[in-house]
């Protein structure tokens, strides 16, 4: 399953908002350096879908705020 995510790094509060069934808006506290924000996004998406972090992979948008993420459910 592919999920489209809009990420806001460096936010004061973490949040995951489901905009549509396959679209999310995610705010993370980690900055967008050294892959910290991407790692936290993977952890949060894994919690939402109740899978392990290894089942969540960023397919596109590694350096962009809009990402396509693959989730193996």
pLDDT digit string, tens, across residues 15-55: 999 999 999 999 999 999 999 999 999 999 999 999 999 99
DSSP 7-58: EETT-SS-EEEEEETTEEEEE-SS-SSTTHHHHHHHHHHHHHHT--GGGEEE
Tell me the fold of 2-71. Answer: Conserved Hypothetical Protein Mth637; Chain: A; (3.30.1200)
Instruction: Please tell me the predicted confidence (pLDDT) of residue 36.
Output: 96
Domain boundaries defined on the chain: 2-71
pTM of the model: 0.94
């Amino acid at each position: 399953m592919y999920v489209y995510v809009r990420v806001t790094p460096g936010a004061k509060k973490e949040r995951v908002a489901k905009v549509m069934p396959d679209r999310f808006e995610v705010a993370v506290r980690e900055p967008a350096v050294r892959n910290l924000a991407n790692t936290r996004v993977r952890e949060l998406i894994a919690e939402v879908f109740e899978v392990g972090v290894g089942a969540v992979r960023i397919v596109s948008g590694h350096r962009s705020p809009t990402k396509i993420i693959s989730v193996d459910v």
